[in-house]
A and B are shown apart, each in its own frame.
Chain A
Amino acid sequence: MQKDTLKIIIVGHVDHGKSTLIGRLLLDTNSLPKDRLSEIKKISKELGKDTELAFLTDQLKEERERNITIDTTQTFFKTRKRDYVIIDAPGHVEFLKNMLTGATLAEAAVLITDVNEGVMEQTRRHAYLINMLGIDKIILVFNKMDIIDYNEAKFTEIKNKLLVFFESLGVRPSFIIPISAKKGINITKRSPEISWYKGPALLEALDSLIIDAKTEKKPLRLPVQDIYEIDGKKIMVGKIDSGTIKRGQKVILSPSSKKAVINSIVLFEKEKTSAQAGENIGLLLKEGAVAERGEIIAEEENSPEVSSLFRGNIFWMSDEPLQVNKPVTLRCATQEVRCVAEKIEKRINSSTLEVLETNAKELKINEAGIVLFKTDEPIAIEKFSFIEEMGRFIIEQQYNLQGAGIITETTV
């Protein structure tokens, strides 16, 4: 089934033209309210600048004055084919956590590179991160072609540099497109200025992406979110992460390994005989049994891994480092446990992918790592490549989110 809305994130190094490209997409798809363009013209003038399309998405006063995106912005546009949500992510290293916030919401990515400046630190880091987060539809656009007079040789040179990096990630971009966001070249349709380019324009490329809807074929995973007592009955609520659930089905709860039978599936003033991935439902178990928040409901014969040791790829985004054997809080689905990084097997530069150290003592801000985690109690997990929702986790210390990762091996 083809979805009728696609969420895309636009990433790339600061100043390579993300905000301008979004302004351009809004303009060329007629998605701007009438008064917005004149508002932008007025503000640009007040700040003593030419009309900056980037101001359409850079909303904060500071963003406009400093000419950088600080936090993600979401905007909406539509083509004849479908609706789009575009997420503009900041390209400055200081604001990587905001870029990640945007990236976890996206289904596809557009990575923008200034052909004049070439491949930069955040170009590669963003590529690494969106790939780690499991976004596999990536369009590469090479911007500011107008500055280099639409020169093919220069474009090819920069493109090949970036493709080498993509090869080391093991990723094949869906499209590679030379554009000018400012001049509107190769945005809605192929422009005569770049006659040597034979592929689709950006909007045509976006429209042709096929994103698979959530598959119901995977085994049932339903993390219990809460328990309500309503009219004397205990109702467990939660979102089905994968698979389907049926009335009368025998299930198993992980990590406790308790068995139960689904008595009824309830919604407000409604009952259902079955429910599928993505639905938030209420459940009553036979004999009034209840599970706690954090337990995962699964089919009896196909339950998640229960383990207190797993290996993951992690990206660290806090000034306070991740230290070996120092207790931190791990959250995965609705589970929350204390854990330690038992071993930081590899400490990696997230822009160059260079291994900086093996068996490291700590992981610093903006570094990536391959880490062995040990939890205080066993938890129910999956490989990210199998069931994303149960294979991704965050690390918190005190009040703050400090790292994000995906599980690559559930038993070691």
Chain B
Amino acid sequence: MDYLAELENKTIYIIREAYNRFKNVAMLWSIGKDSTTLLWVVRKAFFGKIPFPIMHIDTSYKFKEIYEFRDKYSKEWGLNLIISRNEKALAEGTCPEKGKLNCCNSLKTEALKMTISEYKFKALLLAIRRDEHGIRAKERYFSPRTADFKWNYKDQPAELWDLYKSRIEEEQHFRIHPMLHWTELDIWRYIEKERIPIVNLYLAKNGKRYRSIGCATCCAPVDSKADSIRKIVKELETTTIAERSGRAQDKEDAYTMQRLRSLGYM
């Protein structure tokens, strides 16, 4: 079995385990390359018939290409799509110009909290990877969160072999991370091999491309000539620039991410 097949198989096992143990689960789809790859593997795990909803947390500030992609493929793949928006905060005019931390927190974390309590989800599948950001290297595959989303990263349960934790207190929920062991390069190699459709913002136009996409307001493109998946793979094989270097919230200070995450940010 080749390396990518190994990664894929581990991910399938975790997805199926999460569904078996919790039933009331949902997957978060940001429409970025990682969660689109996860969605691809989720479709494989359930033979094309995903038995749970796919949730998009919509801040309303996403790139238009993201919305177009979402609508096209949620139809083509027959997804049960839930769009999670904090309408109240949006009506109050929450935006990055008035404070990025607060904007991320109300439009993503708070929106997600509301949707979880509305649907009473016990587990959420997320496409985070260990190599993405320092603090994420500490994540478990099955990670319990308290009712108010707190991640107790100083005292996490042990996780041995593929015997994942499967019971939690009533008021807790789980974050499930089936892509934890993939790297950015693995993702692109897999996208190339499987021909997974991907938002075209990742491909270079006029010497610039996005390496990580989120809100149009807070993402900057990086210099790049990679206008095909093949060239992205080549580019990443040699780069020493961090993936999220185009992301505003990572630059604020070294511990912003840690603070955001302990508040429940993805």
Contact = CB atoms under 8 A, between A and B. Distances in A.
Nearest to B157: A401
B216 to A, nearest CB: 24
Contacts of B153: 60, 71
A225 B20 contact: yes
B167 interface: yes
B192 interface: no
Interface string A17-56: 0000000000000101111100100110000000000000
Contacts of A354: none
Instruction: Specify which of B6, B138, B165 lies most central, judged by the most chain A CB atoms within 10 Å of its CB.
Output: B138
Interface size class of B (residues with CB under 8 A): 35 or more
Contacts of A317: 158
Contacts of B130: 74
Contacts of A74: 130-131, 137
A395 to B, nearest CB: 10
A75 interface: yes
B241 interface: yes
A117 interface: no
Contacts of B154: 60, 62, 70-71
* Interface of chain B: mostly helix, strand, loop or mixed: loop
A23 to B, nearest CB: 12
Interface residues of A, number: 59
A123 B131 CA distance: 28
A279 interface: yes
A29 B138 CA distance: 22
Tell me the dominant secondary structure on chain A's binding face. mixed
Nearest to A64: B254
B156 to A, nearest CB: 6
Of the listed residues A32, A36, A42, A60, the one surrounded by the most CB atoms of chain B closer than 10 A to its CB is A60
A278 B47 contact: no
A225 B13 contact: yes
B80 interface: no
Interface in A339-362: none
Contacts of A398: 167
Interface string A377-395: 0000000000001001110
A164 interface: no
B46 interface: yes
Contacts of B5: 278
B131 A59 contact: no
Contacts of A97: 157-158
A73 B131 CA distance: 10
Interface of A: 3-5, 30, 32-36, 39, 42-43, 57, 59-62, 70-76, 85, 97-98, 100-101, 104, 225-226, 228, 230, 235, 237, 239, 266-269, 276, 278-280, 282, 293, 317, 331, 389, 392-394, 396, 398-401, 404
Given A225-B16, A239-B13, A280-B13, 19 more contacts: A34-B240, A35-B245, A60-B138, A61-B255, A61-B258, A71-B138, A71-B153, A71-B156, A72-B138, A97-B157, A100-B160, A225-B17, A268-B45, A278-B1, A278-B6, A280-B16, A394-B163, A400-B157, A401-B165
13 contacts: A33-B240, A33-B241, A34-B241, A60-B135, A60-B258, A74-B130, A225-B13, A226-B20, A228-B49, A268-B43, A268-B44, A280-B9, A401-B158
